[in-house]
Chain A
Amino acid sequence: MRCLIHTVARFILMSATVLPAFAQLALVDLRGNRVVHLAASGQHAVVLIFAATDCPICNRYVPEIARLQKEFGARDVAFWWVFPNPGDTEAVVRRHELDYSIHASTIIDAKQELVRMAHVSVTPEAAVFAVENGQLREKYHGRVDDLYFSFGKERPAATHHDLEDAIKAVLMGRTAIAAAHGPVGCSIVPLAVLESARR
């Protein structure tokens, strides 16, 4: 019976994933300006890449994300890098984007609101939303691909490109298929950990 309960809970979570109006969220870009719209007019999908400047696995994915952005950016898909960790301030992320030649829209998710809404837990992890009637509905969250099969252990090359498949599915109006395994990466630092636990 435990299995059934789990399935129901997941269903509820998934169906509830519609992002609220962005004006209510504390999202800022790298200049400190509030981000109000994730999708510009005419865009069909939004991809969030949750990242951390100090996560080696995350950084390893920079070229792959750039490839996807190049391919799908031209097809009306919005790409955002989202930095949710407390240490990733605007200045730190700006430096990182210079170092890694990242040319993309970026959000500092200081209160980890997007983390919760997209149900992500590690970096790198992706979330894909379809733009439906002016609302963003989550269609996929999980790994970018299966390059890593556990922390630090990787294949010579990825064999399943889950994020790419999910974006294609959303653009064709199909259901995105959940990845066979969860994402491998660096845990997103919970805000609670900020409060030092002294004994």
Chain B
Amino acid sequence: MSWIRPVATGCVFAVGIGASSFGVRFGVRAATAPNLITPNPTWARDVAPILYKNCTTCHHPGGAGPFSLLTYADAKRWGPQVVKVTESRYMPPWLPEPGHGDFADNRRLPDADLVLLKKWFEAGMPEGDAKAAPAAPVYDTTWQMGKPDLILKQAEPFTLPAGGTDVFRNFVFPYPLKDGHYIRAMEIRPGAPQVVHHANVLIDRTGSFRRQHPSRWRAGIPGMEILLDAGNTFDPDSHFLFWKPDTPALVEPEGMPWRLDAGNDLILNIHLKPSGKAETIDAEIGLYFTDKPPVKQPMLLQLDRDDALDIPASDKDFTVEDELTLPVDVEALGVYPHAHYLGKDMQAWATLPSGEKKWLVWIRDWDIDRQAVYRYTEPVQLPKGTVLHMRYVYDNSQANPRNPHDPPVRVRAGNRSEDEMAHLWLQVLPVDADPNAPDPRLRLEETWMRNRLRHTPNDRVSLYNLGAALAGEGKFAEAVPEFQQVLAAAPGDAETLTALGAALDGAGDWQGARTALVQVVGSLSAEKQQVCDARFDLASLDLRHEGLETAKSELNAELSACPRDAEAHELLARTDAQAGDLEGAEKELRETARLKPDAPQVHSELAQVLGQAGKLEPAIAEQQAALKLAPDDADGWNNLGVLEARIGKTQDARGDFEHALKLQPDHAQARANLARLAR
């Protein structure tokens, strides 16, 4: 079964409200604190600290800003602009309204700083006592976090033309290692930071994007949004891998690394703005590993009303709304609103079961060029039953200077920059989940897909993913009609038939499952991999219901088409072992171990087969190999002890049983074996 999901890329959502009354109340004044501003501000004492804290992360030589603000001469050169753009709050880039979500890395300048900068400018931009100025920050020209553990390089450099409109492009970075790694941080060096507005990194678990564009992926594929095949396991997108110029290194919170495995690709979805001269984009992605697996599993959840986007020409207040009721307790960690050029006012909030309203974000003047992920200072607690809302307003009138059409035309949802979008992504972390219940993210996925289907009842991606979520939760009977609905629209779709087969099998209808899988196996249009997947499932089914020979012939047929399928070799080995063909089982397991050398259970199974065949020395070697990979496996130590006892290595065996008991004091077999040794 595969998961197909729309992926958050260059664009995302817009919340909206028209003239609203959330602003000033009860005569509360903005905290300008003019009395705190020194009467004669100088660069050295007053201005340099503001610039160093808020501006020079980008505005330094070689940085993403178009000019440097590190020295007094720089500040004086750009003084008029600094005052203008801080007064208008164009800089530092920060869209959220204060008081509507408490965000880490809030870049909004205090009003007092604006007043100070203006006073300094009006006074002729005096330097003051240069010796008293704080030391200018030093910016590393290479990797901000030191040398990465792995550097991925763009396949081919891309030349951004000198002029023209913005460019949205997707570059594929295949993960080259055989071993998987947990990633605690990532840094992107785009090659020409001044032309990169923002970038999203997507994980393509199955290399599906590269397969979609076999001859062109090396040069990068144009487009704002892409669709990826997420593979056979439920592994939802979980992290905002979002890059913007002032945050080149993306460090994940403790306990929340993400993962890369062999065969994965990273896709850099990048928004480029021409600079006036041709620029070379030759990006590098630096990855920093950690050995510690995640202890928290977040998920990206989406509200979306693309279906409702049909914006009449000249409509300046076109509004869309969506809401989703949380099925489990979560903490919201971050939010990523997204629309294109017509988005104006974007609001998102949560209504708690108590009735309390919590703002998630409010952007009054959306600007696609300044889009960002906003992370909450403290996780926002959203108990089960909380209703998430988004409300976006679009301005498709001529008065919207960002309107890409002149005169305005009717605009619908789409992937091009002149189309629109209405997305709100929220990173949520399920909390207080029952450890014995299915992954709570499956409930979230189910709710999300049901919400999408409320708007677009026949959306195939949503139907498929809903079916897959239900199957994942063990609700096989509920999953069946979802897959059947997909098949009604796409008869014979191999991926869906295979998923339907798995759901029917889970629901107890193994004959129905077999019919669905046989249909895939006999399909002439299905891709080779899809046929292999179906044959594998069919063999598993036949092993339980039709007998060993049928299963074996299915597996042999599969392996002649997909000889590198380690799971099929492993299943064939079990089939052989059940049939008493230990030689055949050994051969298949050795092939499995060759394809998956780091899977401890394969070495363990091989040890068992060898042991049964009386090949004790090699069996011990395999069991030791398994324990090297999984040293805390109490069963493994017990099994090693049994093998060693059989060749008379009693002392070694005793040590193994004792080790097993140390790892698992209630290990009954190890205890019994130890007792037998003593006799």
Using a CB–CB cutoff of 8 Å, the interface residues on chain A facing chain B are 54-56, 58-64, 87, 99-101, 149-157, 159, 186-187, 189, 193, 196-199
Q: Determine if A63 and B125 form an interchain contact, defined as CB atoms under 8 angstroms apart.
A: no
Q: Is B418 located at the chain interface by the 8 A CB criterion? A: yes
28 sample A-B contacts, Cβ–Cβ < 8 Å, listed by A number: A54-B66, A54-B77, A56-B66, A56-B67, A56-B275, A59-B277, A60-B275, A60-B276, A61-B276, A63-B274, A64-B163, A87-B77, A100-B276, A101-B162, A101-B278, A150-B88, A151-B90, A156-B166, A156-B402, A156-B418, A159-B406, A193-B76, A193-B79, A197-B124, A197-B125, A199-B40, A199-B127, A199-B128
A155 to B341, CA, bound (A): 9
A197 to chain B, nearest CB (A): 4
Q: Is B200 located at the chain interface by the 8 A CB criterion? A: no
* Pick from B66, B90, B124: contact of A150, CB under 8 Å: B90
Q: Determine if A155 and B81 form an interchain contact, defined as CB atoms under 8 angstroms apart.
A: no
Q: Is B236 located at the chain interface by the 8 A CB criterion? A: no
A177 to chain B, nearest CB (A): 18
- Shortest 10 CB-CB contacts between residues of A and residues of B: A63-B163, A56-B66, A59-B276, A62-B276, A187-B80, A156-B404, A197-B124, A199-B126, A149-B401, A100-B277
Chain B residues whose CB sits within 8 angstroms of the CB of A62 once the complex forms: 162-163, 276-277
**Total A-B Cβ pairs within 8 A:** 92
A199 to chain B, nearest CB (A): 4
Q: Determine if A155 and B402 form an interchain contact, defined as CB atoms under 8 angstroms apart.
A: yes
Chain B: which residue is nearest A185 at the CB level? B81
Q: Determine if B404 and A157 form an interchain contact, defined as CB atoms under 8 angstroms apart.
A: yes
* New A-B pairs, 6, CB < 8 Å, besides A54-B77, A58-B276, A151-B90: A62-B277, A101-B162, A101-B277, A151-B88, A156-B402, A193-B125
Chain A residues whose CB sits within 8 angstroms of the CB of B163 once the complex forms: 60, 62-64
Chain A residues whose CB sits within 8 angstroms of the CB of B128 once the complex forms: 198-199
Q: Determine if A197 and B88 form an interchain contact, defined as CB atoms under 8 angstroms apart.
A: no
A60-B275, A63-B276, A196-B127 are known contacts. Are A156 and B165 too (CB-CB below 8 A)? yes
A62 to B164, CA, bound (A): 11
Chain A residues whose CB sits within 8 angstroms of the CB of B123 once the complex forms: 197, 199
A156-B166, A156-B404 are known contacts. Are A198 and B88 too (CB-CB below 8 A)? no
Chain B residues whose CB sits within 8 angstroms of the CB of A152 once the complex forms: 85, 90-91
A196 to B128, CA, bound (A): 10
Using a CB–CB cutoff of 8 Å, the interface residues on chain B facing chain A are 40, 42, 66-67, 76-81, 84-85, 88, 90-91, 123-128, 161-166, 194, 274-278, 341, 367, 369, 401-404, 406, 417-418
A124 to B452, CA, bound (A): 48
Chain A: which residue is nearest B41 at the CB level? A199
Chain B residues whose CB sits within 8 angstroms of the CB of A60 once the complex forms: 163, 274-276
* Pick from A54, A63, A189, A196: contact of B67, CB under 8 Å: A54
Chain B residues whose CB sits within 8 angstroms of the CB of A87 once the complex forms: 77
A92 to chain B, nearest CB (A): 13
Chain A residues whose CB sits within 8 angstroms of the CB of B403 once the complex forms: 155-156
Chain A residues whose CB sits within 8 angstroms of the CB of B42 once the complex forms: 199
Q: Determine if B126 and A151 form an interchain contact, defined as CB atoms under 8 angstroms apart.
A: no
Q: Determine if B401 and A99 form an interchain contact, defined as CB atoms under 8 angstroms apart.
A: no
Q: Determine if B164 and A63 form an interchain contact, defined as CB atoms under 8 angstroms apart.
A: yes
Chain B residues whose CB sits within 8 angstroms of the CB of A151 once the complex forms: 81, 84-85, 88, 90
Chain B residues whose CB sits within 8 angstroms of the CB of A159 once the complex forms: 406
A198 to B129, CA, bound (A): 8
B130 to chain A, nearest CB (A): 9
A63-B163, A151-B85, A156-B418 are known contacts. Are A197 and B275 too (CB-CB below 8 A)? no
A193-B125, A196-B127, A197-B126 are known contacts. Are A153 and B367 too (CB-CB below 8 A)? yes
A96 to B365, CA, bound (A): 35
Q: Determine if A153 and B401 form an interchain contact, defined as CB atoms under 8 angstroms apart.
A: yes
Q: Determine if A198 and B401 form an interchain contact, defined as CB atoms under 8 angstroms apart.
A: no
Chain B residues whose CB sits within 8 angstroms of the CB of A157 once the complex forms: 165, 404
A153 to chain B, nearest CB (A): 7
A183 to chain B, nearest CB (A): 13
Chain B residues whose CB sits within 8 angstroms of the CB of A61 once the complex forms: 276
Q: Determine if A59 and B275 form an interchain contact, defined as CB atoms under 8 angstroms apart.
A: yes
B194 to chain A, nearest CB (A): 8
B539 to chain A, nearest CB (A): 55
Chain B residues whose CB sits within 8 angstroms of the CB of A198 once the complex forms: 126-128
A113 to B630, CA, bound (A): 79
